[in-house]
Amino acid sequence: MREMNESVEPPVLEISDLRVAYGSRTVVDGLAFRVDRGEIFGLLGPNGAGKTTTLSALEGLVKPLSGRVVVNGVEVQRYPIEAKALLGVQLQSSSFQAELSIEQIVKLYAGLYGVRLSRAQIRESIRTLGLGEELGKRFKHLSGGQQQRLALFIATIHNPLLLLLDEPTAGLDPQSRRTLWKRIEKLRGDGSSIVLTTHSMEEAQAVCDRVAIIDHGKLLTLGTPAELINKHKDDPEVLAVAHGAVTLEDVFIGLTGDEIRD
């Protein structure tokens, strides 16, 4: 059944030989992977590994030196507008217009994604976000976590086929984190795929169907969390850091080393 589906539908995301450089420095170096429909895919790596840059290439924010990024059969470089319409995006560092209220921001982005929402629908969705009290508050007056919640909501406003989340749980309280995972599960149930980055290996192990660990822009390993643990549990570097049963975090540190990145 699944095989049949795969032969008909293109993968939701397919990246091949992706290379991105800032000036003379190559920060994404020959990355390749694919994401299937309904999959939650974790992109893991230490600070500066190239996760955000990889996502930027998917979003069309940076121009790759080489490689192809194809979203559901649509090549991002050639058809940026069509590709962007399929993507829901939450950026690691970005902001909405500080002077707009939550309601105005929702209205703006609904319009940009071609979603027609009535005033009542907008208010209802803001209420379900737990921001009902802040309806008319300007973006700049929201707390960091509230801003993050709004950003995540905007990312899903058009029920995107592929959701790209860059450290979505950073700065969220445990309640919001749970709500976020529920939302992600629901979106997946509705047929979306999700690519996310996180520094919490626990979280990745718990929610991601597959993870890729990258460093210095190169793919180190890729598979389900269980597969990765199984594959690397006997590596000497992994054994050296494991206490008891090997976890995804042990594999991560074993593969990427334990010194802090600048």
Partner 1 sequence: MRSVIDDRNSAARPSLALAMRSLLLADSIVLLRSRVSVVLSILLPIVVLVVTTFGKAQSRLGGSDLVIGLALILGLLTSCLLGYSLTLAHDREMGVLQRLRVTPAPTWMIMTSRLVVQVATNLIASAIVMIVGTILHGLSLNAGQYALILAIAVLGAAMFLAIGQALVGVVKSSTAINAIGRVLFVILLLLGLLGGSGILGDTMKTIGDWSPVGALMAFFSSVLSQATWSAQDGYSLLACLGYIVVFSFIGIRWFRWDAQ
Interface map 42-61 toward partner 1 (x if CB under 8 A): -----------------xxx
Distance of CA 64 to the CA centre of its chain: 19
Residue with structure tokens 């095989």? Answer: 3
Q: Which residues pair with 86 in a beta bridge?
A: none
What tokens appear for 245 in the block? Answer: 């049963």
Binding-residue total with ligand ATP (CB under 6 A): 11
Q: Which residues pair with 96 in a beta bridge?
A: none
Stretch that binds ligand ATP, among 47-55, 118-126, 153-161, 230-238 (CB under 6 A): 47-55
- Other CB atoms within a 10 A radius of the CB of residue 234 amount to 9
Among 41, 53, 153, 252, binds ligand ATP (CB under 6 A): 53
Q: Does the protein bind ligand ATP through residue 42 (CB under 6 A)?
A: no
Which CB, 40 or 196, lies closer to Mg ion?
Answer: 196
Stretch that binds partner 1, among 101-109, 172-180, 198-206, 245-253 (CB under 8 A): 101-109
Report the distance separating Cα 262 and Cα 168, nearest Å.
Answer: 22
What tokens appear for 212 in the block? Answer: 């890729």
Among 40, 49, 76, 151, binds ligand ATP (CB under 6 A): 49
What tokens appear for 152 in the block? Answer: 């995540």
Least Å distance between CB 100 and ligand ATP?
26
Which CB, 53 or 205, lies closer to Mg ion?
Answer: 53
Report the distance separating Cα 51 and Cα 214, nearest Å.
Answer: 8
Residue with structure tokens 């209205």? Answer: 107
Tell which residue, 238, 208, 202, 206, has the closest CA to residue 222: 208
Stretch that binds partner 1, among 71-79, 174-182, 207-215, 229-237 (CB under 8 A): 71-79
Helix, strand, coil in percent for the chain, rounding step 5: 40, 25, 35
Which CB, 27 or 74, lies closer to ligand ATP?
Answer: 27
Q: Does the protein bind Mg ion through residue 198 (CB under 5 A)?
A: no
Stretch that binds ligand ATP, among 50-58, 136-144, 156-164, 180-188 (CB under 6 A): 50-58
Contact positions vs Mg ion (CB under 5 A): 51-52, 92
Contact positions vs ligand ATP (CB under 6 A): 22, 27, 45, 47-53, 92
